[in-house]
Structure 1
Amino acid sequence: MRSTQNNKLTQTSPNTPISQKRLKTKPTLILLLILLIGNLFWFVLWLLPSGEQVKGGDEQVAAVDGQTITRQEWLAAMESRYGKETLQNLVNEAVMEKAANQYKIKVTDEEIDLELALLRSAQDSNDTTIQNLSDSELRQKIRAQLILEKVLTKDVVTEDTQSEAYYEENKSLYNIPTTYRTSIIVVESKDDAISVKKELANGSEFSVLARERSLDTSSASLGGDIGYVTATQTSVDPAIFKAVQSIKVNDTTEPFVLSDGRYALAFVEEILEGQSFSYDNVKDRIKRELAMEQLPSSITPEAFWAEFNATWYYGEGK
């Protein structure tokens, strides 16, 4: 439309008075304005939710004694309880990616694999990070942490003799035993355990039965998932590790006795074979760890928000 109008204007006789030229272009400008308003109107209508979408906010997702819980109430509750933390994590990850580009920092898959292996072997029973995050989410979280550490320590010098001595003193940390991704169902008696085993044989899902029947409330809420079990963990009942050693991936153990006299069944989702890391494999990690010890422990990704103009729904800064 504009190119056509420009052609018309250029074709106007140079002898035409300026006032007459303006009169000729005025109707066209009015037409353009009407078209612009019309386009804006339809764009706004397109953005507005349809009647069906609006109605979706009132869709029932649960009911208690006849009292309904709508999708809108559900989503509002999730935002209220988890929204701020989730958004903060997303902003932190984005900020760290910006920092990686700014300071030309690289994080390799091998570095993330190393951190994952160390995390799994040293998992604390009270730390449910592995269970709560998917593999991709966990890798992204580790990546963001590695970027932060590399940014903070990029100008800190650590002597080779220090890192070599550290490796020798902590060599056992880098000899990682075989780990078993395990879920459990804990019951009161052997009869209860046999009953659960029969339900599994009849097609019931392990995670569903764990939520319904397991007496171990912390793992039951996670479908029985207790993370990765190793022979060296002191926070996990030794009977669990002994039981999972005898089965394959996606198999369930026979009922076995725990140290407190209760019975359990265990399911193995994944088996990661043990591995050892040489000094060359972990040298950069050790140097970074020693460098971090020289810095204040309170530095977090939020410290870089201002540098990369990060803002969010909850106001300025963190």
Structure 2
Amino acid sequence: MKSTRDNVSDQQKRRLKTKPVLLMLGVLLLGNVLWLIAWLIPNDQTANTTEEVASVDGEAILKEQWMAQMESMYGKEVLLEMVNAQVMEVAAKKYDIKVSDQEIDLELALVRSTQDGSDTSFQSSDEEVIRQKIRSRLILEKVLAKDIVIEEDATKSYYDNNKNLYNIPTSYRTNVIYLKNAGEAKEVVNELNNGSSFEGLARERSVDASSASLGGDIGYVSEGTDSVDPAITSALPSLKPGKWSDVLTLKDGRFAVVQVDTVFKGQSFSYSDVEDHIHRELALDQLPQSVTQEAFWDEFDAEWFYSEK
């Protein structure tokens, strides 16, 4: 077994800070792909796959053609994720690995606190997909770290030197409609007050193409998010979920209307809350190379459709 009493290196500090973001880059892209594939697969197994889904100059594009194209583009990636998740569940049973909701909550809180508001990979994502991915990753990490000894003074030293990482500010899942002038912004507020959908108006009226395509979603934002205009971050604490702001004037000359979707209360994690998290991360740093779920396929007799392709 390996042991360490050394102080945490700068490289290790960077790894602990950036790990949540690196994890989520994969989670959210794949989560959207999983959702799309699931939507394409009919619940009724007798469904007509020769259904016409589009046509060009009278030439039909059939549902089976569409689904075949989706499978060729994303099928391998989606199936890999499904197999890996199942392999980790089997590993958890064999090695008696437990993952609590509190552990997933901690990882998710770290994800929210490290998100850059300009990072579109966090937008329009399914939290349940994120939680499942985090669970699978935690099982892998616990299996890999279970025989590595880290002295408590190393974990305590890291916590004492990096308490700011575990003081998580309140964050807001935020939707924004960006407008060119105050008149258009006032029109949007009036339409919202008359019952129009914020998501629909964002897609139709917002001049920010990236967030408009996602119904205005700009992801998790806190009052300290430097990449988001301070007029927006300052307005968030006064908004209740589902409600929108008056017209906001932005520094770049544009105007905005903001809606809060969900509020995630800030948290301060004590050493006892994060001791296992830090211990596990420092243990993984002792491994000579990174290990993925695929390394356990042989152990648990995992096979898949693409093995002969």
* TM-score, with length taken from structure 1: 0.77
For residues 114 and 284 of structure 2, what CA distance do their matches in structure 1 show? 20
Offset at residue 246 of structure 1 (A): 2.0
Map of 1:204 onto structure 2: 196
For residues 183 and 263 of structure 2, what CA distance do their matches in structure 1 show? 29
User: Relative to 1, partners in 2 of residues 1:316 and 1:235: Cα closer, same or farther, differing over 3 Å?
Assistant: farther
Offset at residue 297 of structure 1 (A): 5.0
Map of 1:308 onto structure 2: 300
Map of 2:11 onto structure 1: none
Secondary structure of 1:240's aligned partner: helix
Offset at residue 215 of structure 1 (A): 2.2
Q: Looking at CA atoms only, which structure, 1 or 2, has the larger radius of gyration?
A: 1
Map of 1:276 onto structure 2: 268
Q: Please point out which of 247, 251, 264 is paired with 1:255.
A: 247
For residues 92 and 130 of structure 1, what CA distance do their matches in structure 2 show? 22
Secondary structure of 1:268's aligned partner: strand
Give CA deviations for 1:168-223 in whole Å, capped at 9, x if unaligned: 11101111111111111112111221222233233221112222222222222222
Q: For structure 1, which segment, 102-111 or 76-85, has the greater mean C-alpha deviation from structure 2 after superposition?
A: 76-85
Conserved? CA contact 1:130–1:138, under 8 Å: no
Stretches of structure 2 lacking an aligned partner (at least 5 in a row): 1-43
Matched residue count: 266
For residues 241 and 112 of structure 1, what CA distance do their matches in structure 2 show? 27
Conserved? CA contact 2:177–2:216, under 8 Å: yes
For residues 201 and 60 of structure 2, what CA distance do their matches in structure 1 show? 26
Secondary structure of 2:238's aligned partner: coil
* Residue 160 in structure 1 maps to residue 122 in structure 2: no
Note the aligned Cα RMSD (angstroms): 2.3
Secondary structure of 1:315's aligned partner: helix
For residues 218 and 271 of structure 1, what CA distance do their matches in structure 2 show? 22
User: Relative to 1, partners in 2 of residues 1:54 and 1:250: Cα closer, same or farther, differing over 3 Å?
Assistant: closer
Secondary structure of 1:124's aligned partner: coil
Offset at residue 64 of structure 1 (A): 5.3
Give CA deviations for 1:64-88 in whole Å, capped at 9, x if unaligned: 5655433223322322332222211
For residues 139 and 55 of structure 1, what CA distance do their matches in structure 2 show? 32
Any residues of structure 2 matched to 1:1-318 within 5 Å, and which?
A: 56-63=48-55, 67-125=59-117, 127-128=119-120, 130-315=122-307
For residues 193 and 253 of structure 1, what CA distance do their matches in structure 2 show? 11
Give CA deviations for 1:272-309 in whole Å, capped at 9, x if unaligned: 22111100111000111111222245321122222222
User: Relative to 1, partners in 2 of residues 1:238 and 1:305: Cα closer, same or farther, differing over 3 Å?
Assistant: farther
Conserved? CA contact 2:87–2:293, under 8 Å: yes
Offset at residue 101 of structure 1 (A): 1.0
* TM-score, with length taken from structure 2: 0.79
Give CA deviations for 1:130-174 in whole Å, capped at 9, x if unaligned: 435322211101000101111111111111111011001110111
Stretches of structure 1 lacking an aligned partner (at least 5 in a row): 1-51
Secondary structure of 2:177's aligned partner: strand
For residues 196 and 288 of structure 2, what CA distance do their matches in structure 1 show? 51
Give CA deviations for 1:7-49 in whole Å, capped at 9, x if unaligned: xxxxxxxxxxxxxxxxxxxxxxxxxxxxxxxxxxxxxxxxxxx
User: Relative to 1, partners in 2 of residues 1:263 and 1:67: Cα closer, same or farther, differing over 3 Å?
Assistant: farther
Secondary structure of 2:99's aligned partner: coil
For residues 59 and 193 of structure 2, what CA distance do their matches in structure 1 show? 37
For residues 297 and 213 of structure 1, what CA distance do their matches in structure 2 show? 49
Instruction: Kindly indicate whether structure 1 or structure 2 has the higher relative contact order, using CA contacts under 8 Å at least 6 residues apart.
Output: 2
User: Relative to 1, partners in 2 of residues 1:118 and 1:55: Cα closer, same or farther, differing over 3 Å?
Assistant: closer
Offset at residue 316 of structure 1 (A): 5.7
For residues 261 and 63 of structure 1, what CA distance do their matches in structure 2 show? 43
